[in-house]
A and B are shown apart, each in its own frame.
Chain A
């Protein structure tokens, strides 16, 4: 539409009063259909089924997910806007927290908060005249396996991330080794693991080793969810990861800015993911500086 001149600016926005109303729970209950007959409600239960199957098929579980929860919380503590700013979390805090739907604990779940987030898309020509350097869309990919959780025979992966990631990298003309940071849709810690795994950053069962040693946190070799993400900043659906990627590339992230300030690579190319349902839909976007 932008290239055809049908419009000059596209606003992508999300806002929700999910904390102060019951609208999110109502939506998730509807989404569960007759599964509620058996006490199966919403997203946590569905992702718990997926995570449990993954634990059966390869080495994963709380010892992997603790690195994701703690790493993202460290980023949130550099982000004054994060819901969890000022609330540090240790591995012991994570491992001693209560189960919501086992194997998922409270800090494995994304936040429930009021708020909103938006991004504006325009042409590169127009963006070059704006105050901040533009975050340029280099590649896009989408793949939607779509099977309901109960009907999927591949609940432990691979998810739509595999093909969507290949498409996006191919369109961008870059490889995984060129990625400086990732902003991954993190409805649950396990989602971050299976998404990065399906993008090929590590093989099934290798996640615990890959995440160990602060890989994704400040100072890490592959920063992930640098605002704190949906687990520790705020939940704005796909706008949490997308807006953070754009802000990092524009250099607008203050204390958590990627580069020398956080002893990380300069964010020239950032991979962004979004997924929907219980791992039923997936999109990947590569943003970059040019």
Chain B
């Protein structure tokens, strides 16, 4: 069955992030000058304005900073999903990522819950990084 939810809009800034996801690698920009690991990708470091970067692969472990349980489907593609959990996950390397928590009931999610990345291959080119309870 065709994938019915919205797809990410790939551009020059985020292409390497989404290509990393396709290979099941969570890749972030790291500032070559101050070492700040950042998301979303950007031309300059928001801390020190340096333009030199290296891409680092995250271990994929973090914790739930906050979350919300959608009881409303704002898009037809999510009609079968409600209630589902949207969360901000804080990775151990520092960046925060807006994502979904899967692999447990919405009522089991809590702030600071340890989570690990799980990969959802949705099209031949796009893979979404979602998170499930660790262990």
* Residues in B whose Cβ lies below 8 Å from that of A153: 65, 96
CB of B71 within 8 Å of the partner chain: yes
Q: Please, which residues of chain A bring their CB within 8 A of the CB of B106? A: 102
Contacts A39-B86, A98-B71, A99-B69; A56 near B100 (Cβ below 8 A): no
Q: Which residues of A contact B86 (CB under 8 A)?
A: 35, 38-40, 45, 49
Residues of A in contact (CB 8 Å), total 32
Q: Indicate if A84 sits at the interface (CB-CB under 8 A).
A: no
> B68, A56: Cβ atoms under 8 Å?
no
Q: Which chain A residues lie closer than 8 Å to B112 at the CB level?
A: 56
Q: Which of A5-46 contact B (CB under 8 A)?
A: 25, 29, 33-42, 44-45
Whole-angstrom distance between the alpha carbons of A153 and B75 in the complex?
28
Please provide the chain B residues from 19 to 58 with a CB less than 8 Å away from any CB of chain A in the complex: 39-40
Q: Nearest CB to that of A155 among chain B residues?
A: B66
Chain B, interface SS category = mixed
A49 contact from B14, B74, B88, B100, Cβ within 8 A? B88
A94-132 vs B, Cβ < 8 Å mask (1 yes, 0 no): 000011111110000000000000000000000000000
Q: Is B66 touching A34 in the complex (CB atoms < 8 A)?
A: no
Q: Decide if A242 is an interface residue (CB 8 Å cutoff).
A: no
Residues of chain B contacted by A45 (CB below 8 angstroms): 68, 70, 86
CB distance from A178 to the nearest CB of B (A): 36
Interface residues, chain B, with chain A CB atoms under 8 Å away: 5-9, 14, 39-40, 65-72, 74-75, 77-78, 81, 83-84, 86-88, 96-100, 106, 110-112, 128, 130
6 nearest A-B pairs in the assembled complex, by CB-CB distance: A48-B68, A56-B111, A102-B69, A53-B66, A41-B74, A150-B98
Which residues does A use to contact B, with CB under 8 Å?
25, 29, 33-42, 44-45, 48-50, 52-53, 56, 98-104, 149-151, 153, 155
